[in-house]
Amino acid sequence: MKVKCPTCQKAVEWNEQSEQRPFCSDRCKLIDLGEWASGGHTIPGKDLEEELMSEQVDQLNTNFLH
């Protein structure tokens, strides 16, 4: 099966011999890693601080109501 490299869109064979899959090369893998590290790629959702505060408020409410 062929897939597109997420970085450069080059066709990549998806099999056990393709050590860099889904990337076509170490270079494209490192470019993608750099994007994640710099915040260029993100997963939608709450900020960590907002998530932690929300959990603490929920815990306080649960403890208060019981």
pLDDT tens, position by position, 42-60: 888 777 788 788 877 777 6
CB 12 within 8 A of CB 22: yes
The residue count of the chain comes to 66
Query: Which domain does 51 fall in, by range?
Result: 2-65
Q: What whole-number distance in Å separates Cα of residue 29 and Cα of residue 34? A: 9
- Structure-token pair, residue 8: 């450069």
Q: Does residue 28 register a pLDDT over 80?
A: yes
pLDDT at position 11: 95
Q: What whole-number distance in Å separates Cα of residue 35 and Cα of residue 42? A: 9
For residue 18, give the CATH number of its domain. 3.30.50.10
Domain tally, the chain: 1
Cα radius of gyration rounded to whole Å, the chain: 20
Q: What whole-number distance in Å separates Cα of residue 36 and Cα of residue 43? A: 10
